[in-house]
């Protein structure tokens, strides 16, 4: 009774639909970043096209991942209102009031290694989040140079996980965002972290086929990876942010050296995740927009063909050459599912 008499609570009960945000609009385009950045409603351009002169637009993040199949494409996020821009130290953001794109690029040399750099990045992200009008981090992408370099616990991915955990605030560790951690290979030790934040909280989703990453046993590193398998956006119609998903069943990698079998296992994982999220739509076609990260360039065409065969040729797909956080994994998929 006390809760119901509170005005905020009553408003929520009376108008749940009005509380939902519009879905974020995301598309791939081969027209180049400059054309996309000219549009007023654009919140972010994740630019996977070959390196251009460095950009000063805070909405533009140039990610050094090569296209696996041509043409090279950019990922464009469109908001639903006037876009405001800002910066805070090394962090930059853009927001339409409902959603924000936020990005950080930190030079590891300034922090003394990947763990300290990841800690600094997540501490800055946490500080920004806590003061922002869009404090709820739904989805994070991490681009780490030479991600598999180093043996056992010294592997750079594992050290990244140590630092990430140390930098996250309590709000983040209580509700891990969906995430991807992808290896770039340009030799520049610059950690790139970018995220989608929202004015309202999402709801995390775990996958019954997979051990939650934050519960991975010690054999995978000193600090378990802090991410949720997916995030249900606070949007209507429904939208689901799918974390980087690979051929991990339980906590073990499957199908070493067999990219086709890894891809099928990955799709089984995503189907299971969609079921757990209560999605009414199957993966693919106009409902999904997906990125596949492929370790070996020679596998890129097979991955593209198999995904289009399994999901429909109309599925927006971006194939990127990148490393996956376990050396035996050859392919990983992330994306957004509308449904
Ligand atoms: C896995 O399932 C594969 O550390 O943020 C996927 C997505 C993976 C995100 C991360 C790692 C991350 O464990 C690796």
| C-alpha pair distances (Å), 249 with each of 36, 59, 204 | 38, 36, 19
**For ligand 1, atom 13: residue with the closest CA:** 213
C-alpha to C-alpha distance for 25 and 336, rounded to whole angstroms:
10
CB-CB contact of 301 with 257 (8 Å): no
- The pLDDT tens digits for 300-310 are 999 999 999 99
Task: Tell me phi and psi for residue 276, to 5 degrees.
Answer: -65, -30
String of b and e for 146-172 (b: at least 16 CB within 10 Å)?
bbbbeeeeebbbbbbbbbbbebbeeeb
325 C-alpha to ligand 1 centroid (Å): 7
C-alpha to C-alpha distance for 173 and 265, rounded to whole angstroms:
28
| C-alpha pair distances (Å), 142 with each of 74, 118, 183 | 17, 9, 8
- The pLDDT tens digits for 106-149 are 999 999 999 999 999 999 999 999 999 999 999 999 999 999 99
What are residue 92's DSSP bridge partners? 87, 103
pTM of the entire structure?
0.94
- The pLDDT tens digits for 194-223 are 999 999 999 999 999 999 999 999 999 999
* DSSP secondary structure letters along 10-60: HHHHH-HHHHSBPPPEEEEESS-HHHHHTSTTEEEEEE-SSP-SPP--TTE
**What integer is the mean pLDDT of 171-177?**
97
Best mutation site among 143, 205, 246 for ligand 1 pocket (most ligand atoms within 8 Å of CB): 246
Provide the pairing of β-strand 230-232 with 239-245: antiparallel
Q: What is the pLDDT of residue 8?
A: 40
**For ligand 1, atom 6: residue with the closest CA:** 244
Q: What is the pLDDT of residue 9?
A: 40
Q: Which residues are catalytic?
A: 332
* Cβ < 6 A, ligand 1 pocket: 142, 179-181, 213, 225, 227, 243-244, 246, 248, 325
- The pLDDT tens digits for 226-280 are 999 999 999 999 999 999 999 999 999 999 999 999 999 999 999 999 999 999 9
Q: What is the pLDDT of residue 206?
A: 98
Instruction: With cut-offs at 50, 70 and 90, classify the pLDDT of residue 296.
Output: very high
Q: What is the pLDDT of residue 55?
A: 81
Q: What is the pLDDT of residue 18?
A: 60
Identify the H or E element spanning 254. Answer: none
- The pLDDT tens digits for 15-66 are 445 689 999 999 999 999 999 999 999 999 999 987 777 788 999 999 999 9
Angle 114-131/156-167 helices, nearest 10 degrees? 30
pLDDT at 292 over 60: yes
Point out the ligand 1 atom lying closest to the alpha carbon of residue 227.
Answer: 5
pLDDT at 6 over 50: no
Point out the ligand 1 atom lying closest to the alpha carbon of residue 248.
Answer: 2
Point out the ligand 1 atom lying closest to the alpha carbon of residue 210.
Answer: 2
**For ligand 1, atom 9: residue with the closest CA:** 180
180 C-alpha to ligand 1 centroid (Å): 6
String of b and e for 22-41 (b: at least 16 CB within 10 Å)?
ebbbbebbeeebeebbeeee
C-alpha to C-alpha distance for 69 and 320, rounded to whole angstroms:
8
């Amino acid at each position: 009774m006390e809760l119901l008499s509170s005005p905020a609570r009553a408003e929520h009960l009376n108008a749940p639909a009005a509380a939902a945000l519009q879905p974020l609009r995301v598309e791939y385009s081969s027209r180049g970043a400059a054309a996309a950045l000219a549009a007023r409603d654009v919140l972010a351009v994740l630019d996977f096209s070959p390196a251009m002169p460095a950009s000063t637009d805070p909405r533009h993040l140039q990610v050094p991942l090569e296209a696996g199949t041509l043409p090279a494409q950019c990922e464009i996020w469109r908001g639903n209102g006037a876009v405001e821009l800002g910066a805070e130290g090394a962090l930059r953001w853009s927001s339409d009031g409902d959603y924000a794109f936020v990005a950080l690029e930190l030079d590891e040399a300034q922090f003394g290694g990947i763990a300290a750099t990841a800690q600094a990045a997540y501490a800055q992200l946490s500080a920004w989040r806590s003061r922002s009008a869009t404090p709820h981090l739904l989805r994070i992408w991490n681009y780490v140079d030479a991600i598999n370099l180093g043996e056992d616990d010294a592997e750079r991915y594992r050290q990244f996980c140590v630092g990430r955990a140390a930098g996250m605030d309590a709000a983040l560790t209580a509700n891990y965002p969906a995430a991807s951690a992808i290896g770039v290979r340009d030799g520049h030790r610059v950690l790139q972290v970018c995220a989608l934040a929202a004015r309202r909280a999402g709801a995390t989703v775990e996958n019954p086929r997979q051990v939650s990453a934050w519960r991975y046993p010690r054999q995978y590193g000193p600090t378990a990876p802090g991410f949720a398998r997916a995030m249900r956006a606070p949007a209507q119609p429904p939208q689901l942010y799918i974390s980087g998903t690979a051929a991990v069943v339980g906590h073990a990698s499957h199908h070493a050296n067999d990219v086709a079998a890894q891809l099928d296992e990955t799709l089984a994982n995503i189907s299971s995740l969609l079921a757990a999220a209560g999605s009414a739509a199957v993966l693919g076609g106009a409902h999904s927009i997906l990125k596949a990260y492929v370790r070996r360039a020679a596998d890129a065409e097979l991955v593209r063909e198999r995904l289009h065969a399994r999901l429909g040729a109309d599925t927006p797909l971006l194939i990127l050459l990148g490393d996956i956080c376990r050396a035996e994994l050859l392919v990983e998929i992330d994306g957004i599912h509308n449904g």
